[in-house]
Structure 1
Amino acid sequence: MITIVVAMGLKNEIGADNQLLWHLPKDLKHFKEITSGHPIIMGRKTYESIGKPLPNRTNIVVSRKKDWFEEGILIVGSIKEAIKFAKKLDENIFIIGGGNIYEQTIDLADKLEVTQVEAELDADVFFPKINPKIWEKTSETCHEKDEKNNYNFCFQTLQKKSEI
């Protein structure tokens, strides 16, 4: 199962200047809970914005830079290579960004774990449009903003619809 994990605003915005647009500790906790123990696939810029390998996960980074190396991660040259390697480790694979990686994998994914943030912010990276003919929301849990989470947001699970 390939699952895309993304936090996005109301205009599908996900980032600006290689950074997330919001700080939502509940979302970070949710992300950790669903991805821990599994391989995660991300692009080089996403990895650089995180700054270090995420613990208790195999960190697979897709990069076209041939001379780039970081301790504690696996660097591959393509999404196909990343998925092939991840499937050898676990049947549950998580795609965690960024925009280019999401565009390359949305048609390959079986499930989307979306944190829908109730905000419209300036961004330079966006998540691809989610086609309702392909994706069906199967669950949603919403949270009000509070002293630690500065926006209202909902955790949504979307499953790819079965072929008819």
Structure 2
Amino acid sequence: MSHLTSIAAVARNGVIGADGDMVWNIPEDFKHFKRTTMGHPMIMGRTTFEGMGALPGRRSIVVTRSPEYVPNLTKGDDVVVVHSLDEALEEVAGEDAFVVGGAQIYEAAMDEVTHLLISEIPLEPEGDAHFPTIDPKHWRESDRDPRDGFTVVTYERREA
């Protein structure tokens, strides 16, 4: 069975970004993100894609409402542009895939994902992008892994 996992770095106050960018720099969390997502497709919004670009070893599924959006690519980039979350889910059907942001995509995918992989960041920065509330009625914490400067917490969807 394939899994769809939202992976995010989330501050104590729920902030995941400001002005289309991250508001902290924790190299060990970036390494965790790279190791975890390597070889798997990643679903993201256009702004998130434009911020991170095409990442080697991973297919980027970019969701945009703009019918004329064409990403700036270089040779070898593995990028697919779609116009809805449903189209993105069709692109990754049968594969273990990750939802990597931003806030609108996390919110739209919340009912579709089977797991949450949250790097809890012990900060309370100002920001305009927030991760959706993790409702304990729907999610149970299955693992907590303290790291240097953050904690990786895994949640699994509760059975209905």
- TM-score when scaled to structure 2? 0.92
- Residue of structure 2 in register with 1:127 after alignment: 131
Shift of 1:80: 0.3
Residue 50 of structure 2 corresponds to: 48
Partner of 1:85: 91
Unaligned runs of 5+ in 2: none
How do 1:40-119 and structure 2 match up within 5 A? 40-50=42-52, 52-70=53-71, 71=73, 72=77, 73-87=79-93, 90-119=94-123
Count of aligned positions: 153
Q: Deviations over 1:84-118 (max 9, x none)?
A: 0111xx52010000000001001111000000001
Whole-Å Cα distance in 1 between the matches of residues 65 and 159 of structure 2? 34
Percent of aligned positions that are identical:
35
Superposed CA deviations along residues 44-75 of structure 1, whole A, max 9, x for unmatched, are: 0001111x201101111001112211233110
Which of 132, 139, 142 matches 1:138?
142
Q: What aligned pairs does 1:31-42 form with structure 2 within 5 A after superposition?
A: 31-42=33-44
Task: Could you list the structure 1 runs, at least 4 aligned residues long, displaced by more than 3 angstroms after superposition.
Answer: none
- Corresponding letter in the other structure for 1:142: P
5+ residue gaps in structure 1?
A: 145-151
Deviation, structure 1 residue 142: 1.1
In 1: Cα distance, 2:92 partner to 2:112 partner: 14
Q: Distance in 2 between the 1:34 and 1:161 partners? A: 22
Instruction: Give the CA RMSD over aligned residues.
Output: 1.0
**CA shift at 1:21, angstroms?**
1.1
